Chain A
Amino acid sequence: MIPRFEPVIIGFLCNWCSYTGADLAGVARMQYPPNLRPIRVMCTGMVHPGLVMEAFDQGTDGVLILGCHPGECHYLEGNKKALARAGVIFRVLEDKGINPERFEIQWISSAEASVFAELVTRFTQKIQKLGPYSPLPRQAYDTGIKTYDRL
């Protein structure tokens, strides 16, 4: 039997809403796939697109940014900034040849534990369908030298 593909998903969760929501899902013993590796950030507005790209460079299969609903940001406009930055991420993913479906930005309030569980389930299934993301080493140039043996 082929083992089921278990994707690695990195989540940037804001401290005030989504992380608390995820916490609540845990306290309420809700079931959702264990593929998400949550990283708690103070605000989604602080997640530089470079961090998301770095996650992909290091071989993660999907990235989620989860923040407070618009208008409910603890810092007033952080999630607005996160949304603007997400636009950059989509654009650059597409241009870099990475399927932009591997990235999502969503809003989860601290009370929406079930929404969080559903979202993680859906996203994990989606990534499972897409398959693993492997930043293929660009074909080593055919000179008989298989890797770049750095002299």
Chain B
Amino acid sequence: MTVRIAGEALNACSGCEISFLDMGERCITLMETLQIVHLPLLMDSKHSGITGRDHSFDIPEADIGLVSGSIKTDDHFHLARAMRKACSTVVALGTCAGHGGIPAMANAYDNQEIEQCFLSTISTDQGSLFPSAHVPALMDTCRAVDEIIRVDHYLPGCPPHPDHIFGLLTALAKGQDYDLPAKSVCSNCPALRNGKGEVVRLLRPLDLPAKASPGTGESRNGLLCFIEQGFLCMGPVTIDGCGGNSSLARCIEAGVPCRGCFGPLPYPGDQRLAMLNALVSNGIDMDSLPETRSLLRFSGGHGRLTPPFGKKDTRTDGS
């Protein structure tokens, strides 16, 4: 029996689909049991809804639906629902689909600000308006996919690792479950950790480390934990798995701190709250960060990121 796959990208960058292709030769292995029936970013299958004329998305029936990207417009909303109708299993592919991802950073502003931002630049004509025709209307906030439709499986990552995409698709084809281990990036990090207490302020990325790390070679032997060097590393609050089957986290392997792209641990969690808590509990001054909203740069969906207090019109608080 062939398993049919459909895919759609909503408020997405196509990185997740590229990661799909990055499976390389394994794609061919997969195609022995799987058949892609619809995936506009990779195949020549289109639907009329994309022109904004109507909301009829003729997505063929499929067993597995890969939905990447978050939901911010009219089109995304209807497309997500059409995917749910067409597919018996829906996978939220990538951090955008699971947690809001990069596009959900828009949630720190209201739509008016967002529109102003691109309508009143030096190069825009005076008096430009948000187009009403041919462009889908904006929703109030940018949502993760599971805020609109039921999601059966999550594959976090920006983008997810090809190993996990392969693992998930093979597992689903066999009717099995597939989950990433619920561990943090730190749990798998080779960095040396000497304990709490020495760092009291975080440095900016281009500053010299507070404490030099002895090991910087390829193997990362002797690498000192980035936080102990004085840099922000989101490893403690981010789910592990970005290394794929080779276990080392990708950014750590490259010698830079984790930025949190695999989304919060535990699910659903608040990466900013957890990270700030981890910092202050260890005596690190959180005011040494210029701002904290960017700690939600990958997980601003689910109402985690909102315009700040004091903006009366957008406050969720009644007072």
Interface on A for B, CB 8 Å cutoff? Answer: 48-50, 53, 81, 84-85, 87-88, 91-102, 130-136, 138-139, 141, 143, 148, 150-151
The verdict on A96 contacting B309 (CB below 8 Å), with A49-B273, A91-B286, A143-B74 known, is yes
Q: Determine whether the beta carbon of B316 is less than 8 Å from that of A138.
A: yes
Q: Determine whether the beta carbon of B270 is less than 8 Å from that of A151.
A: no
Q: How far is the CB of B85 from chain A (nearest CB, A)?
A: 6
Q: Determine whether the beta carbon of A135 is less than 8 Å from that of B316.
A: yes
Contacting residue for A131 out of B139, B308, B318, CB 8 A: B318
Q: Determine whether the beta carbon of B286 is less than 8 Å from that of A150.
A: no
Residues of B within 8 A of A102 (CB): 317, 319
In the bound complex, CA of A100 to CA of B273 (Å): 15
In the bound complex, CA of A99 to CA of B269 (Å): 21
In the bound complex, CA of A92 to CA of B270 (Å): 10
> How many positions in chain B have a CB within 8 Å of any CB in the partner chain?
40
Contacting residue for B276 out of A91, A100, A130, A136, CB 8 A: A91
Contacting residue for B149 out of A91, A131, A151, CB 8 A: A151
Residue in B closest to A93 when the chains form the complex, CB atoms: B309
Q: How far is the CB of A12 from chain B (nearest CB, A)?
A: 15
In the bound complex, CA of A139 to CA of B272 (Å): 24
Q: Determine whether the beta carbon of B315 is less than 8 Å from that of A134.
A: no
The verdict on A92 contacting B84 (CB below 8 Å), with A50-B277, A97-B314, A141-B140 known, is no
Q: Determine whether the beta carbon of B317 is less than 8 Å from that of A99.
A: yes
**B95, CB-defined interface residue at 8 Å:** no
Q: Determine whether the beta carbon of A88 is less than 8 Å from that of B286.
A: yes
Contacting residue for B281 out of A84, A98, A131, CB 8 A: A84
Give me 10 other A-B pairs in contact (C-beta within 8 A), A95-B293, A151-B149 excluded.
A50-B274, A53-B273, A96-B316, A97-B311, A98-B317, A131-B318, A131-B319, A134-B318, A151-B85, A151-B150
